[in-house]
Amino acid sequence: MNLLEGKTALIFGLANNKSIAWGIAKAFHQNGATLGFSYGIPQLERRVMPLAGDLNVDFVEPCDVTKDEDIDDVFNKAEKRFGSIDILIHSVAFAKQDDLAGRFVNTSRDGFAMALDISAYSLVALAQRASGLMPAGGSMLTMTYYGSEKAIPHYNVMGVAKAALEASVRYLAMDLGPDGIRVNAISAGPIKTLAAAGIAGFRKMLRYTSERTPMRRNVDQDEIGNTALWLCSDLSSGITGEVVYVDAGYHILGMPEPPENWE
């Protein structure tokens, strides 16, 4: 398949070969896209460079999404390198580890602001610049989680940030739709990644969902990548402002199957 032949995608949030962004990058590469990568902190360069090599990607730029000058720099370089782009992938989130354990009620003011800035506002900041490089329209996609809608133990402030992120998707979709730019989110089930490891009890979360989803398993990075491919290709040309679940059906459950050893 060459669903993205002739299209250029900028992917933010690649940390290593466990990243959801890597699942997306592979699916896009297999479908003919030209890719550019951006990573968050200098220490990740040594992990990201070999991955870029694997997919023949020669546009690899650092960008801390809390810094407008970093964001401007990446998009200026992208404009010089590609002229225009067709796809923006936002696969970025962060909250202090203290805020991803224990009780949400204890969230500090600065922890709240940081989580919302990096995990939600950054989509708006990237969309501002990316839309200027999409004269022929395009597709933007971000990653969210069910903790935006329902309270999930330890997800805490990240759930609040994801709620803001999903609302941002709808407002961006409304604003950018007239320019032919679609904006969507994938709500992924839990997957073992660097970011996920920061959530207290994550291994138990993985086990809990794998035993209870309608499909009795968890999802993986490649399944997110394939759905991202659909959402960023012309196959989904009528879809915008949407949150698409790739969670083996977990979110449809009103009550999970009670354990068999219950009376």
Q: Which residues are catalytic?
A: 145, 155
Q: Which residue among 89, 93, 229, 231 contacts ligand NAD (CB under 6 A)?
A: 93
Are the C-beta atoms of residues 122 and 128 closer than 8 Å to each other? no
Q: Which residue among 94, 155, 245, 250 contacts ligand NAD (CB under 6 A)?
A: 94
Binding mask 145-174 for ligand NAD (x = CB under 6 A): x-----------------------------
- Residue 208: other Cβ atoms inside 10 A: 15
82: tokens are 């590609």
Is 65 a binding residue for ligand NAD by CB under 6 A? The answer is yes
Q: Which residue among 85, 127, 143, 232 contacts ligand NAD (CB under 6 A)?
A: 143
Q: Which residue among 19, 34, 139, 240 contacts ligand NAD (CB under 6 A)?
A: 19
Is 193 a binding residue for ligand NAD by CB under 6 A? The answer is yes
Q: How far is the CB of 54 from ligand NAD (least distance, A)?
A: 16
Cβ distance to ligand NAD smaller for residue 53 or 83: 53
- Of 74-82, 99-107, 140-148, 173-181, the window that binds ligand NAD (rule: CB under 6 A) is 140-148
Residue 212 CA: distances (Å) to CA of 51, 76, 254, 255: 34, 46, 11, 10
The residues with which 246 forms a beta bridge, in sequence order, are 188
Secondary structure of residue 183 in the 3-state scheme = strand
How far is 27 from 4, CA to CA, in rounded Å?
10
Q: How far is the CB of 79 from ligand NAD (least distance, A)?
A: 20
- Side-by-side strand order, sheet with 60-62: 60-62, 34-39, 8-12, 87-90, 138-144, 181-188, 243-246
138, containing H or E segment: strand 138-144
Interacting residues toward ligand NAD by CB under 6 A: 13-15, 19-21, 39-41, 44, 63-66, 91-94, 118, 143-145, 188, 190-191, 193-196
